[in-house]
Amino acid sequence: KVLVLDFGAQYGQLIARRVRDLNVYSEIVPCDISADEIREMNASALILSGGPASVYAEDAPSIDPAIFDLGLPVLGFCYGHQITAVTLGGKVGHSEVGEYGRATITRTAGAKLFNSTPIEQTVWMSHRDAVSEVPEGFTVTASTDVCPVAAMECVERKIFTTQFHPEVKHSEYGQQLLSNFLFEICGLEPNWSMDNLVETMTAEFREKVGDDRVILALSGGVDSSVVAALGARAVGKQMTCVFINHGLLRKGEPEQVEEVFTKQFDVDFIHVHAEDRYAELLAGVTEPEEKRRIIGTQFWKEFFAVAQQLETDGKPVKYLAQGTIYPDIIESGARKTGGKTATIKSHHNLIPFPEGVHFDLIEPLDHFFKDEVRALGLALGLPGHIVFRQPFPGPGLAIRIIGAVDKEKLEILKNADAIVREELDAYNQRLFEQTGERNSEHSCWQYFAVLPDIKSVGVMGDERTYQRPIILRAVESSDAMTADWAKLPYDVLARISGRIVAEVPGANRVCYDITSKPPATIEWE
């Protein structure tokens, strides 16, 4: 496998993705990993990502120099290029002019990494610092007008680095460079696929669990359902699926989850009714991160209570498996990426254990993106209606009700949300029938209703109303890292608005959120 050392890169997650797209397995590890740890992971090549820091900044991430002596081929981009230069005895300087966006490089004739690409090519740059002197044994292989060392290599040590970002689509021959590195330089075979991923992941799950017992945190969403299918395949009845009903689920959802996991799957399934406990804990709480903390902490307590109950038969529950995916980790402040990215919001599965609660975690999906998880789900034989469900956050409707959560608001939101889903499911289905694609250009990736903490005046049947507005949120995306608001046809918007105001008691207005991510996030809290 190829390890990507993450220096807090904006495009970091893309690198591993591009490698997997070439049918070579790749995963991301923190940049402060040691040479010994890499040796243990049995890697066949390393890629050093970009990152926001300047190599000379006080808290700039560094790299274990012994990594360069492992004898593994190394590819470095941007920060990875500069840190290689500095660590191996070269120099990096601060240039007067930065280079941001499209640039044209001229490469040297014999440059190995650039094989089968033109002498002049367009690349994507984003830097101010630049390598001013290459380390001993290195040669310069590309340059631009303002960047004399746009790429360098030391063929003998198999180290190749570029100042630009081959992983972004704007670098014209980026994927060719990556392919040159993987296949010509490292000699790897493009033999990784979803099917053998299923085999490897099943074996890993089985090996990790051994003879122990596991509970699975099941929400019924795509990610935890994929882990359920994987766990069932790997360890069968050593795993119990536990579904905590916190009362913050969408209309009809608890019944659906129970139906699927008791009738369609041969797994042990427990439905925990925790609605009242959650209602009490959340009463009067308005701050978003506080809501997330309360809900996540109580989840651990609920799972722990179930584990204790199961253990009365004398067999301990050692593991808790859950469907954490890579973007959850990134946005929660990067638990496993070296802590170099900022906390945007604390994703549910990443809330710390409360005192007295402990599980060893199994998170088989923690380096995958949503679309990859879906492909894995299909390879595991999960039905389309689960695999293509839209994402739903662990804290549920609590983070779609702005301000304190109560029964009345929950009822309004559930009813409005059911209409939004019904109408946009139908809209997506029409697009699917036209294009044959599930996530085609204009289809909505995620869509729901939000209930703000305000009221407005309306008029209905000659009467004054003073009720709540519903905010419609619908986005196009592929991995939730970025999203664009969906350009829905007016007739679809009109239908949703008309139905909500007519059918949902307590709602008298509908607004559409026309903000992308960034600068907004998909959810409101």
Task: Work out whether 167 is an interface residue with ligand XMP (CB under 6 A).
Answer: no
Q: Give the shortest CB-252-to-ligand XMP separation in angstroms.
A: 19
Kindly name the residue from 31, 81, 147, 167 that is annotated as catalytic. Answer: 167
Conformational region of residue 236, where left means phi above 0, alpha means psi within -120 to 50, and beta covers everything else: left
Region binding ligand XMP by CB under 6 A among candidate stretches 96-104, 179-187, 410-418, 517-525: 517-525
The 294-333 site mask, x for binding ligand XMP (CB under 6 A), equals: ----------------------------------x--x--
Segment holding 77, helix H or strand E: strand 74-77
- Rounded Cα gap, residues 376 and 21, in angstroms: 14
Q: For residue 403, what is the DSSP state?
A: S
Task: Work out whether 396 is an interface residue with ligand XMP (CB under 6 A).
Answer: no
Task: Work out whether 288 is an interface residue with ligand XMP (CB under 6 A).
Answer: no
How much helix, strand and coil, in percent to the nearest 5, is found in the chain?
35, 25, 40
Q: Give the shortest CB-254-to-ligand XMP separation in angstroms.
A: 17
- Candidate residues 174, 393, 396, 469; the one interacting with ligand XMP per rule CB under 6 A: 393
- Rounded Cα gap, residues 226 and 366, in angstroms: 12
Q: Give the shortest CB-523-to-ligand XMP separation in angstroms.
A: 3
Residue 167 designated active-site: yes
- Candidate residues 127, 340, 348, 367; the one interacting with ligand XMP per rule CB under 6 A: 348
221 assigned to a ligand binding site: yes
- Candidate residues 12, 394, 396, 469; the one interacting with ligand XMP per rule CB under 6 A: 394
Task: Work out whether 480 is an interface residue with ligand XMP (CB under 6 A).
Answer: yes
Task: Work out whether 410 is an interface residue with ligand XMP (CB under 6 A).
Answer: no
Q: Which of residues 437-466 bind ligand XMP (CB under 6 A)?
A: 446
Q: Give the shortest CB-493-to-ligand XMP separation in angstroms.
A: 21
Show the tokens assigned to 473.
């949120």
Asked if 185 and 112 touch (Cβ cutoff 8 Å), the reply is: yes
Residue 165 designated active-site: yes
Show the tokens assigned to 160.
């190749």
Contacts of 124 (CB under 8 A, 6+ apart): 101, 102, 103, 164, 165, 168, 170, 171, 174
Contacts of 496 (CB under 8 A, 6+ apart): 419, 420, 423, 424, 472, 510
Cβ atoms within 10 Å of 406's Cβ, excluding its own:
13
Conformational region of residue 284, where left means phi above 0, alpha means psi within -120 to 50, and beta covers everything else: left
- Candidate residues 17, 250, 345, 374; the one interacting with ligand XMP per rule CB under 6 A: 345
Strands 463-476 and 507-512 turn out to be parallel
Task: Work out whether 523 is an interface residue with ligand XMP (CB under 6 A).
Answer: yes
Residue 78 designated active-site: yes
User: Active-site residues: which are they?
Assistant: 78, 165, 167
Question: Which residues sit at the interface with ligand XMP, rule CB under 6 A?
Answer: 328, 331, 344-345, 347-348, 391, 393-395, 446, 480, 517, 521-523
Residue ranges of the annotated binding site for ATP are 219-225
* Binding-site entries: 219-225
